[in-house]
Structure 1
Amino acid sequence: MRFHTRKWVKPEDLNPNKTLFGGKLLAWIDEEAALYSIVQLENPHVVTKFMSEINFMASAQQGDIVEIGIDVISFGRTSLVLRCEVRNKMTHETIITVDRITMVNLDENGKPKPHGKTQVEYVKDRLSAKDSGL
C-alpha cells in the first residue's frame, strides 16, 4: 500500500471524547480516494459511488499525524475500485480500513464514461512517455 497523504490532527478535528472525529476521517478518506482516482483516470469528473463497511480499530489524539494509504483493487469499464488504510504515524497503529471504495469516471454531463485504463499508472512513467515521444 502506498501512503500518499499525511494529516495533522488539530482541535477542530476532534469529537467530544477528544479523539479524531470519525466523520472527519471519512471525509479525508473520500477526498484522498477522489484525488487518487482523478490522477489515475486523468479526469476531474470522478465521484464516489460506494464505500464498503468500515472498521475503526484505533483512534488518534490531537497532535497525532495520520497517514492515508490507497491501493487499487481493480479497474472497471467506468470505475476504479480502491482499498484504503489509515494509520497513526505516532503510535504505528492502524486506525481504520475500508475494503472497497468504488469511484466512477463521469463525462461532462455527469454520466458514467469509460476510462480505458487497465493498470495503475505513475506520473513519472507518463512524463517518461511524453519525453520519449510515445
Structure 2
Amino acid sequence: MRFLSRRLVMPNDLNYANSLFGGRALEWIDEEAAIYAICQLETTCLVTKHISEISFQSPAMQGDIVEFGLKTKSVGRSSITVTCVVRNKATKKTICLADSIVFVALDPVTRLPMPHGKNLESLEKQTLEEIRSLNMEKPDISNL
C-alpha cells in the first residue's frame, strides 16, 4: 500500500463530538481514490460506481494529519477497484477503511463504459517503475 497524500483536520471538518466528521472522511476518500484511479488508468473520464462499507476504527481530531493509503485491488475491462486506508500520520492508527471502491472509465462523448486497456499486471509493473525512478532521481541539494 502506498500512502500518497495527506490532509490536515481543520475545525470545519469536525462533528459535534469534535472529531473528524464521517461525511468529510468519505468525501476525502472518494476524491483521493479517484485521483489514484485516474493516474493508474491514465484517463480523466471516470466515475465512482460503488463504495463498499466503510469501517471507522479510531477518531481523528482537530490538528491531526491524516494520510491516505491506496492500492489497486482488481482491474476489469472498463473498471478498477481500489482499497483506501485512512490513518493518523503521527500514530499510524487506522482511522477508517474503504475496502472496495469501484470506478468505471467512460467514453467522453457517449458517457458509456469504455475499455481502458489496462490489467493488474501492467499497473503493478508501472508502479514498480515509478518507485524505481523516484529512488534514482535524487535532487542536488549541495547548492542550498
TM-score (norm 1): 0.89
Give the letter for the 1:14 counterpart.
Answer: L
2: CA distance between counterparts of 1:69 and 1:40?
14
- Match status 1:13 vs 2:27: no
- Match status 1:122 vs 2:127: yes
Gaps of 5+ in 1: 129-134
Q: How far has the Cα of 1:122 moved from its partner?
A: 3.4
Structure 1 residues 59-74: aligned runs within 5 Å: 59-74=59-74
* Structure-2 residue corresponding to 1:80: 80
Q: How far has the Cα of 1:99 moved from its partner?
A: 1.1
- SS of 1:107's partner is coil
The alignment-based identity, stated in percent, is 51
Give the letter for the 2:99 counterpart.
Answer: D
1: CA distance between counterparts of 2:90 and 2:128?
29
* Structure-2 residue corresponding to 1:111: 112
- CA shift digits 1:68-125 (9 cap, x unpaired): 1111111100000111111011232100011111010111121100001013223955
Kindly report structure 1 stretches of 4+ aligned residues shifted beyond 6 Å: none
* Structure-1 residue corresponding to 2:34: 34
TM-score (norm 2): 0.83
Q: How far has the Cα of 1:38 moved from its partner?
A: 0.8
* Structure-2 residue corresponding to 1:24: 24
Cα RMSD for the two superposed structures: 1.5
1: CA distance between counterparts of 2:83 and 2:117?
20
Give the letter for the 2:77 counterpart.
Answer: R
- SS of 1:16's partner is coil
Gaps of 5+ in 2: 134-144
1: CA distance between counterparts of 2:15 and 2:90?
19
Give the letter for the 1:110 counterpart.
Answer: R
2: CA distance between counterparts of 1:90 and 1:12?
21
Q: How far has the Cα of 1:42 moved from its partner?
A: 1.0
1: CA distance between counterparts of 2:3 and 2:128?
16
- SS of 2:17's partner is coil
* Structure-2 residue corresponding to 1:131: none
2: CA distance between counterparts of 1:34 and 1:105?
11
2: CA distance between counterparts of 1:40 and 1:91?
29
Number of equivalenced pairs: 126
